[in-house]
Amino acid sequence: MKRWITLAFGAVLVLVGAVWVLQGAGVLGGSFMSGQKLWFLIGLVAFLVGAVLVAAGARRSRTR
């Protein structure tokens, strides 16, 4: 059960982080975050944390 929570939370962070990175880089427009370096960095951190959680959850499922 805990593995699924880790995977789901990680996947959400990866998706949200990717959107924030694209908005911060100015690729996705129409938001107050568009073209802002701060949101690029926040998105990058969220994406990386999400990727680590997904990898940890996937590795935990393989070892059991």
Q: Binning pLDDT at 50, 70 and 90, where does residue 61 land? A: low
Q: What is the pLDDT of residues 5-58, one digit of tens each?
A: 999 999 999 999 999 999 999 998 888 989 999 999 999 999 999 999 999 998
Question: At 62, is the pLDDT very low, low, confident or very high (cuts 50, 70, 90)?
Answer: low
| Residue 58 near residue 8, CB atoms below 8 Å | no
List Cα–Cα distances, 49 to 12, 22, 26, 63, in angstroms. 11, 17, 22, 21
pTM: 0.86
**64, pLDDT greater than 60:** no
